Structures are given as C-alpha cells and as structure tokens.
Amino acid sequence: MVRAAVLPSVGSALEIIGIELPEPGPGRVRVRLAAAGVCHSDLSLSDGTMQVPVPAVLGHEGAGTVVSVGEGVTHVAPGDAVVLNWAPSCGRCHHCSIGEVWLCAGALRGAGAVHAVTEDGTELHPGLNVAAFAEETVVAANCVLPLPEGVPLTDAALLGCAVLTGYGAVHHSARVREGESVVVLGVGGVGLATVQAARIAGASKVVAVDVSPAKEELALAAGATDFVVASDNTAREVRGLTGGQGADVAVECVGRGVTIRAAWDSTRRGGRTTVVGIGGRDQQVTFHALELFHWGRTLSGCVYGNSDPARDIPVLAEHIRAGRLDLSTLITERIGLDGIPAAFENMLAGKGGRALVVFP
C-alpha cells in the first residue's frame, strides 16, 4: 500500500488514502516519486473543467526513481532517475506521423484504465495517465523519460509540465526572436517558466501581468523587465512600455476570456498571441471582422507547449546546467500530500508560483 491523493468524484474534496498498486506488467514501469508539482490542470480535473474517469489519482507533473520494470522495457532500469510524461505519443496517428506529437490522438487513452485499488477494492483511474500524487506509481513505459545528468531530481518534476509548457509556448508556438518584446499574462508556475523562456530567447523586454501585486518580486526574479497589475487598462499599460506599439508577442497563461482578449489587445499590429491557459466552455472571446483585418494579429492555441518531451527535456537540461534556467525560482512552497487541497485554494486565490509535493 502507498499513500495517494484521490479524487472520489468531480467536485469532491481530495482524499489522502492508501492504495494498492499492481506489479508492473509487460511494457510498464514502477516509479517511486521524489516530487510532484501541483498544476492548475489538476484543479481543472477536480472541478470538471477537464473530464477524466473518476475516482482517480490526480497529479501529472512528477519525477522519481525507477523501482522495477516489466518485460520488454529497455530504455530505463531500476535505480534510474526519470521524469514522468503525462501525454505520451503513440507514434502511429496522423498527428504523430506529421511531427505534431503534442496533439497525439491516443495520448490520454491510458486515463481510462484501472490504475490501482483502494483498501475496500474500489478501482481507481490514473488521472492524466501518470497518477503522480502518490508515493509510487505504475505507468506505461512511454510515460517515463530518463532524467539528464546535472538536474536536481526533486525540482525536475517541473520539467513534466510547467517548464515544457512555458518554454514551448515561447520557442515552439510564438517562436520569439531575439530582440522582440513579450508580455506574459498570469504569473503562476507556467507563467514564471514562460518569463524565463522569453529571457532565454533574448527578448528585449518581458512584461509580466498578474492580478496580484505580490507576484512582482517573483516575476522580476524570473527575468521580467516590467510588472503590471492586471486591470481594464492592461493593454494600454503594455503599449506604454513598448514604445506605444504593443508587444510583439503575448502569452496568456490563465485561460479566461477577458485575459485572452487583453493579451490580444496588448500586441502590436501584426503581433502574435499564444494561449496556454485552459479555460471552460463558458469563457467566450469575441472579435469583429474589421479588427481581424486591420490588426493583422495571430491568435493560436498551445497544447503542452507544442513540445516533444523526448526532444525538449535534454535541451532544457542544458539550459539548467548552464545556469540559464533556474527551476527553484518557480517553486514558492514545498508541501506533503496533505497540503494539496490548500495549494488548490492558493491557486484559486492567485497566490504564489508552483507548489511542489516532496516525498520523504
């Protein structure tokens, strides 16, 4: 039995209980978690914004050590440090065949499988495939990636979602060029990673925007050149900081209609807006036809940073070893499993960056 954070049903409070995991069968890997990040997507699963089978063990951003492997697993072995990949590509669907592995049609099929059972025999699903809110997990082999040398195992959990998403939004989706200006709306874990990625890309100005004035220190430490408290005047303030033109690129990390619209309005004529935040169906954004023509702006969605984890994690590791990327600056609290509900409340209140569940 291992301890895990279980979502009994949509809208219910998480329960920290003992669960029983199976031994890894063919093509499966058992991992002892070192840490798991608390992401807004976990909150979206718990409140039904994103739908997966329940009851489920949540948590999709994690890193740990391989305990054992099933038949046919050769790319990792017991004792190896690994990062969990919650959206593994099948390699066979249309999107995988054209290199868009982040849109893989089969990425979340594992979420419907039986992952573990409770003491009374209730079957549990693995949330977003990897069930990282637990002391140990058993996952498909393509859900684990070897952790490159020189990356702290605990902090490496953030590579599994926040950093891949923020880095990819800048480098793969928006394709920020050296000297361009970038505005980042929403300075949580993903937003802070986006700020760092914009700095790494050589942005001349990085404006961070958040509803909480307390986020300014975090944003500046991550590499922002300016900080704006979100308001009805956000776009005007961003234009004032960018020579009256607006930013070349906006990255929205909140997932609200009003924030997406503010991101769009904050860019220059011909600017590019990338939406990373996951919003509900009630979050509507409207544009009129003339402004689409006049402004010539681009608005695009971004899934998992449009990243290929197998390709991008080694690149991120090199940035970490070189001191360009600092994972620790994204983490504002280190907690145990029991602290996850409070971390959810902090996210709802817009407090802090990334909360990291650290296992003994």
DSSP 8-state secondary structure symbol assigned to residue 134: B
Is the per-residue pLDDT at 337 higher than 90? yes
| Verdict on whether the full-model pTM lies above 0.85 | yes
Is the per-residue pLDDT at 78 higher than 90? yes
**CB-based burial label for 95 (10 Å; 0-12, 13-18, 19+):** middle
Task: Assign 52 a pLDDT band (cuts: 50, 70, 90).
Answer: confident
Task: Assign 49 a pLDDT band (cuts: 50, 70, 90).
Answer: confident
- Return the closest-CA partner of residue 207 out of 179, 239, 170: 239
CA 65 to chain CA mean position, Å? 21
Is the per-residue pLDDT at 50 higher than 90? no
pLDDT confidence of residue 5: 97
pLDDT confidence of residue 179: 98
The predicted-structure confidence for 32-41, as pLDDT tens digits, reads as follows 999 999 998 8
Beta strands in 153-194 (DSSP E): 181-185
Phi and psi based region of residue 129 (left: phi greater than 0; alpha: psi -120 to 50; beta: remaining):
left
Secondary structure of the chain: what % helix, strand, coil (to 5)?
A: 35, 25, 40
Mean pLDDT of all residues in the chain? 96
Across 256-260, average pLDDT: 97
